A and B are shown apart, each in its own frame.
Chain A
């Protein structure tokens, strides 16, 4: 094992102090002279033809400044994203309840909100769609193209139909999952400030400042050199601040350019619920076939995502889900068909796991059903079929050496006492009213953007060593609470042998570093980490060489090895500090600022048959959930989750543990409680009273293990940890409910009502 000074240690978070003491400046804390406030006028119905927009009544509100509509958008009225079907502001048709139709700018937020309520939209209601399966039918109302399909992917391998015919056992079931709301503490928010040269500086709560740059430059019709996007301290993202902050920022920017003054736009919780992205609801039909020994011989999947009113990120969310849809198994015969359908509901996009948790729930539930039908232990069935180094995935990709899945599964099996618990049978207490059970799942997660996002999969860094040996680092990936500032500082400190306290990661400023793609896909450690290492490498050479010469000058014996650790260089007893060395480098006029650029290795995926390398590497998880089910009420309590992860080398164990706990709880919350409801295209519960999240009182006990299978291409052999902890939770819980109660629930959330129906012999 390599010895490190900073990597692999639970160093304190760089942003802990400002966040814990309330000093951090979030989007709503940015203040500017002459600041005005914008508020959105929103679509009241699922689909309307806009006949007219009038501010006649709004104008009378004291403090009213102006109304902003599509006519004020300077560039083409198309938000540039994966496919550009979403107008910055609608012209003739609005497509979901809550869509921004216009904005009011006023002297105070109160006036802006009051005036926005008085803006009159004359409209005609249009026929709408609220069901994605209905949207795919031939005679459905057409919202997008001639088939309502935002994207379709196919993955084909072998002959699944033949394999199913020849199988000893076949299982096939339908599954569905509901929305998940990101529930970040900080709602969407931005301030746009006009600059004297006609340009704009935009202060945005975002995961992806370069997406904001794309959108603002397009809406304002400005050169990129005249738009500067600065990420403000971001109060949570989870994917919800991937694409949509760009839309919010474009609105504020159009307002600011129109009035020539800074404009702040902060969403309240209801409008954030109504209009910002969500985890896609899903429907799927999955089939597995197996031979007599439990070898899985085929997997057939049809997977449909409810994309909502505009495509936004649906195509790439769908692609990731499709690639992983057969599960982390070695299966020779595969057919996966995946569709993202248009409906008149909120556009869905990125959410931790990105299209995988939905299909993972389906296929991992069904693998348990397969085990049941084979009369085989579900862990044993998985151990027979999981991916190991050298095996081929559904897309024919050969799994590399960094794959610890077998060990993960063995670990959770052992730690949960799986065999003993299973041998003892069910534990029932309280006069037979409470039953306890275990459920297992495995998952894998392609790290980074993969083949579908390959053109975006690069990242830059600028590392600047000041004369006093402190270090400023600019990267293009953001901190959103996940710990990027800390982990990247550790990587920089390790590479330069600089004291950790000396490193300062700057907030992302799009004018300081080249477009580094989005901060998503568990890619930041890998991409920005490697970019920092590349930037630091030439300076590291100079520093190490200079340190060696300083040591010789101080009388060290040059034949011995130089040790570099903890910010100190030494040979034997003689040592020099990082600061002394840097001072000497500056005296020698060495270059102490460098750019780094990291490009993900090529992927070979073919979009036609879905074969080839989809991602550069994968992280893995295995979960066992230990639950109690109340057999009279159907209420589930998750007592404990045993989880094991392979995310390569762990840079900061404390933060990794935090990511794991957070992912588990967010996954459990989605699995059991979160239930966003629509009726006739209107969202019924856009608030935290009726959109129920897990609280700390629901928190299970965690038993988390990291198995570090080094990934040679990663910074200090790390992969990514952000998303994989969430993915396998729902099926592990669902399988445990089945084990405890005999009720199989195939729709998420696994509400007590559904378990109760299941206990009473009804399907749900």
Chain B
């Protein structure tokens, strides 16, 4: 186990009060699934971990007339069982079985998943396709960003020092969703490519679309051109093929120990075509 001092404020107010008194070499500890493993392998050298797991302001899944609000401290396994997620967020719902392992889902939080800013994040990718916004707070001051704008590069975010993700606000819009992941094995692996597709349907046609991809760009990628192409078009094989060709041009994958660039690019298209086909077939069965 790594050695760090852990402080655990009781609420947000206490947190902002506490920060000036502790080591500037600090990091937030939520589920710990990235922070602890990173510390074990020497990736981060924070002296103090600010344990935010008690902050009630970060908890709960709620709804308003227009949106679903997910607290940043919500565990992935809580999302799994949430009625609201099941009803309003089909892409996120479909992504959860692909998210790490059951034991990690019991620990990891959705806020931590976004703050870690990994381009391969299943949670962030799915939420981007859901058109999520993110609420941030620093010393009592709040601001709101589209989630996709939070990500600036691998492990890089728009968060200022000490700024904390408070919640995700996802607009309620009637849509179909699919999440397809190509990993290194059947389950519990980091994706080579993932595709999240959210489609607002009008009969057999796409009214609006939101497409996000993981592991094929420096950040969870919103494929805007592909989504724009699909909007207003019939969801058939030919249009799905064209969308797949478009998405291959939108991604910018790399070759690393996990896969090869050319393969990832091609698979982005294959997975998108399959995701669209899956939603289309669901429509036929309605």
Contacts and interface: CB of A to CB of B under 8 A. Distances in A.
Interface stretch (B63-71, B78-86, B181-189, B203-211): B181-189
The listed residue with most A CB atoms (<10 A of its CB), out of B185, B266, B267, is: B185
A501 interface: no
Nearest to B267: A633
B258 A690 contact: yes
Interface stretch (A26-34, A159-167, A691-699): A691-699
Contacts of A110: 3
Prevailing SS type, chain A contact patch: loop
Nearest to A433: B274
Interface in B5-42: 37, 41
Interface residues of B, number: 19
Contact of B259 (A684, A694, A753): A753
Interface string B175-196: 0000000101111111000000
A373 interface: no
Given A690-B258, A753-B259, A697 B188 contact: yes
B263 A695 contact: no
A637 B186 contact: yes
A692 B187 contact: no
Nearest to B189: A692
A275 to B, nearest CB: 16
A270 B41 CA distance: 8
Nearest to B273: A632
A633 B41 contact: no
A498 B136 CA distance: 73
Nearest to A686: B41
Given A753-B263, A756-B263, A756-B266, A685 B185 contact: no
Contacts of A690: 190, 257-258
Interface string B235-263: 00000000000000000000001111001
A478 B104 CA distance: 36
A270 B267 CA distance: 31
A685 B267 contact: no
Interface in A217-274: 270
A635 B180 CA distance: 14
Contacts of B3: 110
A684 B184 contact: no
Nearest to A693: B185
A632 B190 contact: no
Contacts of A677: 257
B270 interface: yes
A675 interface: yes
Contact of A685 (B187, B188, B257): B257
A705 interface: no
A709 B286 CA distance: 61
A687 interface: yes
A690 B257 CA distance: 7
A369 B182 CA distance: 30
Nearest to A431: B277
Interface residues of A, number: 23
Contact of B184 (A632, A633, A687, A692): A692
A86 interface: no
A673 interface: yes
A753 B261 CA distance: 10
A368 B267 CA distance: 30
Contacts of A756: 263, 266
Given A270-B41, A689-B190, A697-B188, A753 B260 contact: yes
B188 A673 contact: no
Contacts of B186: 637, 695, 697-698
A635 B257 contact: no
A675 B185 CA distance: 12
A672 B182 CA distance: 15
A673 B185 contact: yes
Contacts of B270: 632-633
Contacts of B37: 689
A722 to B, nearest CB: 25
A692 B188 CA distance: 10
B41 A673 contact: no
Nearest to B188: A695
Given A673-B184, A695-B185, A684 B263 contact: no
Interface string A628-670: 0000110101000000000000000000000000000000000
A695 B257 CA distance: 19
A698 B185 contact: yes
A476 B190 CA distance: 43
B105 to A, nearest CB: 15
A637 B182 CA distance: 13
Contacts of A684: 257
A697 B185 CA distance: 8
Interface string A612-633: 0000000000000000000011
Interface of B: 3, 37, 41, 182, 184-190, 257-260, 263, 266-267, 270
Interface of A: 110, 270, 632-633, 635, 637, 672-673, 675, 677, 684-685, 687, 689-690, 692, 694-695, 697-698, 752-753, 756
Given A697-B188, A756-B263, 16 more contacts: A633-B182, A633-B267, A635-B182, A673-B184, A677-B257, A684-B257, A687-B41, A689-B190, A690-B257, A692-B184, A697-B186, A697-B187, A752-B182, A752-B263, A753-B259, A756-B266
24 contacts: A632-B270, A633-B267, A635-B182, A637-B186, A672-B185, A673-B184, A675-B257, A685-B257, A689-B37, A690-B257, A690-B258, A692-B184, A692-B185, A692-B189, A695-B188, A697-B186, A697-B187, A697-B188, A698-B185, A698-B186, A752-B182, A752-B263, A753-B260, A756-B263
Cβ-closest 5 pairs across A and B: A697-B186, A692-B184, A697-B187, A753-B263, A677-B257
